[in-house]
Amino acid sequence: MTPQSKSPKEKSTVQTNIMTLTVLTSAIIIIVNIALFFYISRAINVINTVYSTNVTIGELSDALSQVRSSMTEYLNTKSTDSMEQYFDACQQYRDYLSELSLVGQNRDTAAILQDIDGLSETYLAVTDDTIQAKRGRVVEKYNAGYQRSERIYGYINAYIYNLNNEQFRRNSEKYANLREALGSLAAVTMTVIVAVALVNIVLTSVMTKNIMDPVRQKEIVMETHLKDAELKYLQAQINPHFLFNTLNAGAQLAMLEDAEKTSGYLQNVAAFFRYRIKGEEKETTLEQEIALVDNYIHILNVRFSGEIHFSKELEEDCLSVPVPGMILQPIVENAVNYGIRNIEREKKIILKVERLPELIRVRIEDNGIGMSEERIREVLAGNAGENPVMKDSNGVGIQNVISRLRLFYDREEVMHIFSDGEDKGTMVDILIPLQREEEDE
């Protein structure tokens, strides 16, 4: 036997040692990856649980608003469709309430939920009685029932707002703990990877010293596979950080980077939803409604790179006039979605407020695709149906505004819509009677 050759027994020992090293290293990496996989899955479940409650609270608030709007619609129209919408909305509200009550809560949250549950039962009973009184034409009773339901609705909305804030606070604490745990996990797993790599290098160098060339070639192949496994593991380290940074991107941009644009955007979003929480039927002022439109346009221009050119022409002495809440933003939203969104030219929306002899006129004008006379008549009559281009009807939001304006001012003529035809833009006029303003003063 020459000095360069190896006996079959020696070759077998080398192969056994190499296989043992490969199996051991691979087992450690597989175990670490499995542990990381299960921890990431658990973290994702925690994130889903953390934010699902806030989503359910939002859905509960929307369902409550739908109960009120469908009841109001029935009181205005006494139609079969509005009656069916009312009962569907009540059932949906009860479902969300039941879903929310099943989530594990602390003592404070459970107390708020108990209050919401009790008030909700009272509210639904009052709305049922109000609708029955309307069906029986008992005017005094359904008027009194409507007023009472509005008061209870305000209480429930306040409790829902408090519940949402409480959940957000608890969820923020959970997220902070989860983030800290992920940081610790990253440090531990990186230490394991480095240790495995160092041990692998040392053992491989010792066992492969003076081994024949074929064995050395096999070692190179094995090291390549190990490096590939390490790279994939490091990539898996990046994924959870990317996931959590994406989920919390908006808040982190404002809080950690002190970004003025992001902070301004989040402030406008917060102001917009804070106003929405107050409720659509409550009385506000024209100035506050215009401020909400400013918030809304700011949010849209962040999303669409400032392509919406919004201007205002306001008579300052008209801005304190009382109006029902949420009458301008739905019309501006319609102007964006159904008027200017898909046009190629410059997108413009103009809001004008001016005092006329007997009323204050609020005009929202766009340079979009326009409306036909037939479509305008359908919208004003509440028969617009479903929009052929988009899922929501162009007249649904406007019809809701019309119904609330008529109820608030006790008059039929509250809105005009003008358009010269296709691609000629649209003007929507809201007519605020001066008589109501003078009575309030």
What mean pLDDT comes out for the span 281-290? 84
Domain check: are 110 and 16 in the same one?
yes
* Residue 404 or residue 390, greater confidence: 404
One domain for residues 19 and 145: yes
**Whether the predicted pLDDT of 95 surpasses 60:** yes
pLDDT tens per residue, range 219-241: 665 555 444 444 344 334 433 44
Say yes or no: 304 and 361 in one domain: yes
pLDDT at residue 121 above 60?
Answer: yes
Mean pLDDT, residues 272-277 taken together:
56
CATH at residue 224: 1.20.120.1730
Specify the residue for token string 């990431």: 40
Q: Is residue 389 part of a domain?
A: yes
Supply the pLDDT for residue 272.
56
Residues 59 and 207 in one domain: yes
* 264: in domain: no
The confidence score (pLDDT) of residue 263 equals 57
The arithmetic mean of pLDDT across residues 309-328, rounded, is 92
Mention every residue, 6+ apart, whose C-beta is less than 8 A from residue 26: 226, 229
Residues 429 and 302 in one domain: yes
Residue 321 pLDDT: 94
Same domain, 88 and 208: yes
pLDDT, tens only, 179-220? 777 777 777 777 877 777 777 777 667 666 655 555 566 566
Q: What gap in Å lies between CA 364 and CA 107, rounded to an integer?
A: 48
Q: 125 in a domain, yes or no? A: yes
> For residue range 412-427, what is the model confidence (pLDDT) as tens digits?
999 999 999 888 999 9
- Asked if the model's pLDDT at residue 367 lies above 90, the reply is yes
Q: Which residue has the tokens 């506050």?
A: 288
- Domain with 81, as residue range(s), is 6-247
pLDDT number for residue 389: 41
pLDDT at position 18 over 90: no
Same domain, residue pair 49 and 175: yes
Q: Return the pLDDT at 350.
A: 97
Q: Are 332 and 384 in a shared domain?
A: yes
Least Cα distance to 301 among 256, 332, 258 occurs for 332
- Please, which residues bridge with residue 432 across strands? 360
Structure confidence by residue, pLDDT tens digits, 78-89: 888 888 899 999
CA of 20: how far to CAs of 11, 23, 207, 209, 233, in Å?
A: 14, 5, 11, 17, 21
Please tell me whether residues 374 and 291 are part of one structural domain: yes
pLDDT of residue 398: 83
The answer on 341 and 210 residing in a single domain is no
Same domain (yes/no): 352, 401: yes
Reported pTM: 0.41
Asked if pLDDT for residue 14 goes beyond 90, the answer is no
